[in-house]
Every structure is written in structure tokens, then in C-alpha cells.
């Protein structure tokens, strides 16, 4: 029996048909006077409002029964106990151990990891201190001014997103340190950046869990070649200008990373869950180790909440279950992530990897094809900008879509440029007003207007149907701690959904074939007479060959 045929799933389908399908959000609010208070949930500094979801208390009860039926409690225990929940690779997925405080023992498949985690954090702290104190010098003796993180996927998206979000928390010791992120295999980011950097004062971090990712290694080779133009001593070049962060020390050594500059993490940390490890070095350089530890502290607070709170008030569980409801029962095709704060600009990009690489699967843990939808298409953008781009589809398109609105409440209380404080605070009010207005219009459609105003809408293209569900997540303010809470909230949401869908969220076999075929295709580009057995790729290769030959 698949989960779709299970009693809890069937009960939800029946409930949808009997109680929800004919009701829209306006009617749900009419039916329940205390809808906001009974469907909003808090944790320190956070509020999650689910009242604009198309569901009632009975829906939540049935969704929780589905989670129980799927063994959520026991899967959560297995996750935190460090069992090999990543079944296809036979590994634990113990990112929670990376943010557990010293003194709390964590086991990955029965082996304690606590000492290793803290030893590597301490080693990272030592490197951060050296760079901050200007003791880390380039080959000519000058202190480092620019740090370039070379990585892709989880070795780029997480640290880049956090660094952008926490720029206001930059420590004094990093006041003059510029931190750059380079990921693209085509070298376009690096080529442009190197024009503005100085070999004497640039330090590269090679961030790669596997240390075999061609995108990162290609950029690393270009960076090394650029340094070799000025430095003829390879040992000094490597020692003074490269740090490696990886779960593969052997490959780091083969590439030439000096053992003193090797920061390590482990197979049991998934790439997209790795910003809490030494992959977070750029974050620690920006906000200092104290700020980095606050980020870990926020995530740990959410870990504990997730681990110990009953489902009915457990934020990650509830966020996951409403996602299941929207996607599997209401037929929502996509999910938009809409932060109302420019500092969270990269958050939707980061989430696309976290959610779609984790749960974009069509085979269950037993290797059988599933007969239900798994992860929806996730996309997003800074909300107010997206209003002027794709919200048209949310309001008047033909697809049912769900949204997460995310906004910090307090902003610009200090540290604004002279003369800007008051107007910036007004901009923050404007932003919050837009956030609330959009979720309200999605919910009510043109019923958000007065009856008199509505009567003036005479044409269909002026009408808004509404009834599009959304969640709103308000943070008291954005800080290293609250960002840690936010990220762990979504990590656990993804895990809960994987348990309901019976899939392994910790592997990503779907990206492997593309890597293999890219290697073969590379040979084809280098050998003009190479032939594939289909005419499209051969035709494109011929065209490339002709242009390259001219």
C-alpha cells in the first residue's frame, strides 16, 4: 500500500471533498472568529501565521494523523540519533550536530562526532583570527584585503546567502575585508573579478565537500594560474593564498592545499546542509566567530523545538504539513518564497537547492516509483520586486500557487547614514504594508475592496479571484540568531515532507548523470570527428566546431 492509498491520506481526500473544496478563504474566516489566534504559532522572536491557508482545525488534525502514520517521531529520532537515514549512501545526516553546543555528545552511526566538530570549528576560529588580525599575509608580506570563495551549490549558496543577509553585522576587524563568491563554471564571474584584485593581497577558499566538482576545480586552476603570474614559489603560493574546506582531505592534499590550511567536515553533512560547518568560513570572516556561533545557536534552538514539541504546535512540522496539503490535496503546482527584505535576496535561491535537490524525487526509499507528487517547483524573489515582475500570475493566472511571505519587523533602529533614519524607517513601514497587503489580496481577491469600490470593476480583467493560500512568517528582527532559526526551520520542513512522501532527502542521484555526460561531451568538443548517436547534439557540436574553426 502506498501512502496515497493509506487511511490517513484517504481521510484527507475525503475531508477535502466534504469540507474544504467548496469553501474559499473568506468563508473560512467567517466560520471561525478566532482563526488568527488558533492558526498562528510562535517561537522566541518568530511568528508563523497559517490562518491564510485553505484549511480548518480538522484539516490540521488529519494532517497530523498522516505524520503519525508515516512514523514522523521515529524518523526524527533516527535523524538526531545519527542513524544512516541517507539510505542510498548509507550515511547519517547529522547537520544538527554541527550546531549543538560543546559538551552535548552526538553520534554518527554510533561514533561520537562532537570532538571533531569542535576541533574543526576551533581551527576555523584560528584562521579567522589570523586574517582579522592582519597576521595572515600574502606572498609579499601584505595583509589580506580580498577573500574569494570558490564553490558551487551548497558550497556557495548557503554562505553567500548568509553573508548578504548579515552584512550589517560585519565585525570591526573585517571592516576592510572584501568577501567575494565565485561559482560559475564558465569563468565569467572570476574573469571579471580578477581584473580588480591584487595577487599580493587575495586569499582563495576552495569550498567543496567532494573536492572533485569540476566547476570549482576549473575556477581554482584559473585562480592559481593568475597567482603564478606573480609568485614563482609554489609552496608560498599555496600556503599564503589558498584555504580548503572539504570532506575529502586526500583530494585537498593532492590539489596542493597545505595541511595547516585544510578545514574538514564529513560525509554525514550534506552539501546543501553544510553552511554550519567549515563551509561557513566566509560567514565567520564577516560576522566573526561570535556572530557565527549565534547563527549556530539560532539553528540549535529550532532543532530543540523541532525535536521536543508536539506536532500541533511544532513550526517545522506545521509548515511542512500545509505544504503537503497545498501540493497533494489542493493541487498547487508551485511555491513562491517571498522575503520582504532585500537582505534576504539570496534566500529563495538557497531554498531552491535545499527543497528541490532534497525532495525532487520520484522513487521512494524502497526504490519504488511513487504515485503522488513530491516537491513542488520552488521559486522566489525579494517580495516588493517580485510584485513588479511575476505577481500578476499569482493574482490572475490559471495556476494555483502557494506562497511564503517572510518579513523582519524591526529595522533601521540604528546605524543608518546621516539624515536617512526617518525616511528609511518609513520605507520599512511601506515594506511591511506591502507584505500584508499582498497576502490579503491573494486571500480575498477584489473582496479586499469595499463593496462600492468593487462595483466599479466592470471588466473580467479587473477582477481578482483570490483564494490563493499563503503563510506569513514574521521575525522580530533579522540577526545571526534569527537567521539560524529561519534556516533550520526550513531544513526540518524539508525533512518532514520527505518522511510523508517516503523519500530520501539526503541524496541527489539526479545530478550525477549530467556530470558524467558533460565529461563525455567535453571530449566531443575537443575531437571534431567524435559522434553521438543523435542528430541534435551532433548538429550543435558541428555548429560550435565551425564557429571555433573560423
**Closest to ligand F6P by CB, 175 or 513:** 513
Collapsed DSSP state (helix, strand, coil) of residue 42: strand
Q: What is the DSSP letter of 197?
A: -
Q: Which stretch binds ligand F6P (CB under 6 A): 206-214, 294-302, 319-327, 412-420?
A: 206-214
Residue whose CB is less far from ligand F6P, 20 or 279: 279
Distance CA 474, CA 502 (A): 30
Length of the chain, in residues: 550
Neighbours of 258 (CB within 10 A): 15
Site for ligand F6P in 215-244 (CB under 6 A): 216
Give the separation between CA 170 and CA 157, rounded to whole angstroms. 19
- Mind spelling out the 3-state secondary structure of 199-256? HHHEEEEEECCCCCCHHHHHHHHHHHHHHHCCCCCHHHHHHHHEEEEECCHHHHHHHC
Q: Which residue number, 37 or 516, has a Cβ lying nearer to ligand F6P?
A: 516
Min dist CB 378 to ligand F6P, Å, is 16
Could you tell me if 371 and 515 are in contact, meaning their C-beta atoms sit under 8 angstroms apart? no
Q: Active site residue: 357, 381, 491, 502, which one?
A: 357
Maximum C-alpha span of the chain = 79
Which one among 209, 335, 343, 411 touches ligand F6P, defined by CB under 6 A? 209
272: contact with ligand F6P by CB under 6 A: yes
- Does 208 engage in binding with ligand F6P (CB under 6 A)? yes
Near ligand F6P in 143-162, by CB under 6 A: 152-155
Cβ neighbours, 10 Å, residue 236? 14
Q: Which of residues 288-327 bind ligand F6P (CB under 6 A)?
A: none
Helix, strand, or coil (residue 544): helix
Q: Verify binding: residue 86, ligand F6P, rule CB under 6 A.
A: no
Q: Which is nearer to ligand F6P, 38 or 253 (CB)?
A: 253
SS3 at position 261: helix
388 catalytic residue (yes or no): yes
Q: Compose the 400-439 pattern: x for residues touching ligand F6P by CB under 6 A, - for all others.
A: ----------------------------------------
Is the distance from CB of 215 to CB of 183 less than 8 angstroms?
Answer: yes
Closest CB to ligand F6P among 285 and 356? 356
Residues 6+ apart with CB under 8 A from 189: 181, 182, 183
Q: Are 292 and 158 in contact (CB under 8 A)?
A: no
Binds ligand F6P (CB under 6 A): choice among 312, 409, 511, 525: 511
Does residue number 271 form part of the binding site for ligand F6P (CB under 6 A)?
yes
Interaction of residue 508 with ligand F6P, rule CB under 6 A: yes
Rounded to a whole number of angstroms, the minimum distance from the CB of residue 393 to ligand F6P is: 29
Cβ at position 355, least distance to ligand F6P in Å = 13
Helix pair angle (214-228, 512-526), 10° resolution: 50
Q: How far is the CB of 246 from ligand F6P (least distance, A)?
A: 8
The yes-or-no answer on residue 357 being catalytic is yes
* Grid coordinates belonging to 530: 567524435
Catalytic residue selected from 388, 414, 418, 534: 388
x/- contact string, 324-363, with ligand F6P (CB under 6 A)? ---------------------------------x------
Which of 140, 210, 233, 392: binder of ligand F6P (CB under 6 A)?
210
Q: Residue 72 contacts by C-beta under 8 Å, 6 or more apart in sequence?
A: 311, 317, 496, 499, 500
Cell numbers standing for residue 107: 553520534
Which of 76, 86, 213, 468 touches ligand F6P by CB under 6 A?
A: 213
Q: Closest Cα partner for 406 from 333, 485, 467, 332?
A: 485
Provide the minimum distance between the beta carbon of 448 and ligand F6P in the complex, in angstroms, as a whole number.
41
Interface with ligand F6P: number of residues (CB under 6 A): 14
Active site residue 515: yes
Q: Is 277 in the site for ligand F6P (CB under 6 A)?
A: no
Report, as residue numbers or ranges, the catalytic residues. 357, 388, 515
Rule CB under 6 A: which residues touch ligand F6P?
A: 152-155, 208-210, 213, 216, 271-272, 357, 508, 511
Amino acid at each position: 500500500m502506498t501512502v496515497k492509498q493509506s487511511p490517513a491520506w484517504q481521510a484527507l481526500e475525503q475531508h477535502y471533498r466534504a469540507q474544504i473544496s467548496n469553501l474559499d478563504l473568506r468563508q473560512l474566516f467567517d466560520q471561525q472568529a478566532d482563526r488568527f489566534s488558533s492558526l498562528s504559532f510562535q517561537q522566541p522572536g518568530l511568528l508563523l501565521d497559517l490562518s491564510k491557508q485553505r484549511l480548518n482545525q480538522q484539516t490540521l488534525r488529519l494532517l497530523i494523523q498522516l505524520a503519525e502514520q508515516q512514523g514522523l517521531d521515529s524518523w526524527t529520532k533516527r535523524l538526531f540519533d545519527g542513524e544512516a537515514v541517507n539510505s542510498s549512501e548509507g550515511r547519517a545526516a547529522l547537520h544538527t550536530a554541527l550546531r549543538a553546543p560543546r559538551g552535548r555528545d552526538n553520534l554518527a552511526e554510533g561514533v561520537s562526532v562532537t570532538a571533531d566538530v569542535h576541533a574543526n570549528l576551533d581551527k576555523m576560529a584560528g584562521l579567522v583570527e589570523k586574517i582579522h588580525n592582519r597576521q595572515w599575509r600574502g606572498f609579499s608580506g601584505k595583509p589580506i584585503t580580498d577573500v574569494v570563495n570558490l564553490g558551487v551549490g551548497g558550497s556557495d549558496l548557503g554562505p553567500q546567502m548568509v553573508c548578504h543577509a548579515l552584512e550589517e553585522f560585519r565585525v570591526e576587524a573585517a571592516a576592510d575585508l572584501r568577501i567575494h563568491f565565485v561559482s560559475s563554471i564558465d569563468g565569467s564571474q572570476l574573469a571579471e573579478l580578477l581584473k580588480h584584485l591584487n595577487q599580493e593581497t587575495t586569499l582563495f577558499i576552495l569550498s567543496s565537500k567532494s573536492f572533485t566538482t569540476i566547476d570549482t576545480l576549473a575556477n581554482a586552476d584559473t585562480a592559481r594560474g593568475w597567482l603564478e603570474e606573480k609568485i614563482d614559489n609554489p609552496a608560498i603560493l599555496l600556503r599564503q593564498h589558498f584555504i580548503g574546506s572539504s570532506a575529502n582531505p586526500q583530494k585537498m592534499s593532492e590539489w596542493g592545499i597545505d595541511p595547516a590550511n585544510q578545514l574538514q567536515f564529513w560525509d554525514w553533512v550534506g552539501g546543501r546542509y553544510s553552511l554550519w560547518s567549515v563551509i561557513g568560513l566566509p560567514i565567520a570572516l564577516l560576522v566573526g566567530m561570535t556572530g557565527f556561533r549565534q547563527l549556530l545557536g539560532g539553528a540549535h534552538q529550532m532543532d530543540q523545538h523541532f525535536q521536543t514539541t508536539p506536532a500541533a504546535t511544532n513550526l517545522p512540522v506545521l509548515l511542512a504539513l500545509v505544504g503537503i496539503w497545498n501540493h497533494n490535496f489542493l493541487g498547487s503546482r508551485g511555491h513562491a518564497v517571498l522575503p520582504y527584505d532585500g537582505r534576504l535576496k539570496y534566500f529563495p535561491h538557497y531554498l531552491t537547492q535545499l527543497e528541490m535537490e532534497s525532495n525532487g524525487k520520484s522513487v521512494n526509499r524502497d526504490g519504488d516509483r511513487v504515485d503522488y507528487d513530491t516537491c513542488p517547483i520552488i521559486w522566489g524573489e525579494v517580495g516588493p520586486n517580485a510584485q513588479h515582475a511575476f505577481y500578476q500570475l499569482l493574482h490572475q493566472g490559471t495556476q494555483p500557487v502557494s506562497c511564503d511571505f517572510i518579513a523582519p519587523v524591526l529595522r533601521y533602529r540604528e546605524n543608518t547614514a546621516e539624515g536617512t533614519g526617518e525616511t528609511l524607517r518609513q520605507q520599512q513601514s511601506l515594506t511591511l504594508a506591502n507584505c500584508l497587503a499582498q497576502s490579503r489580496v491573494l486571500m480575498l481577491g477584489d473582496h479586499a475592496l469595499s463593496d462600492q469600490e468593487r462595483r466599479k470593476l466592470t471588466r473580467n480583467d479587473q477582477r481578482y479571484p483570490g483564494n490563493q493560500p499563503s503563510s506569513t512568517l514574521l521575525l522580530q528582527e533579522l540577526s545571526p540568531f534569527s537567521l539560524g532559526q529561519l534556516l533550520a526551520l526550513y531544513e526540518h520542513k524539508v525533512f518532514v515532507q520527505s518522511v510523508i512522501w517516503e523519500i530520501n532527502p539526503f541524496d541527489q542521484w539526479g545530478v550525477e548523470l549530467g556530470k558524467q555526460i558533460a565529461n563525455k561531451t567535453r571530449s566531443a568538443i575537443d575531437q571534431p570527428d567524435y559522434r553521438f548517436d543523435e542528430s541534435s547534439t551532433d548538429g550543435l557540436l558541428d555548429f560550435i566546431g565551425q564557429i571555433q574553426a573560423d
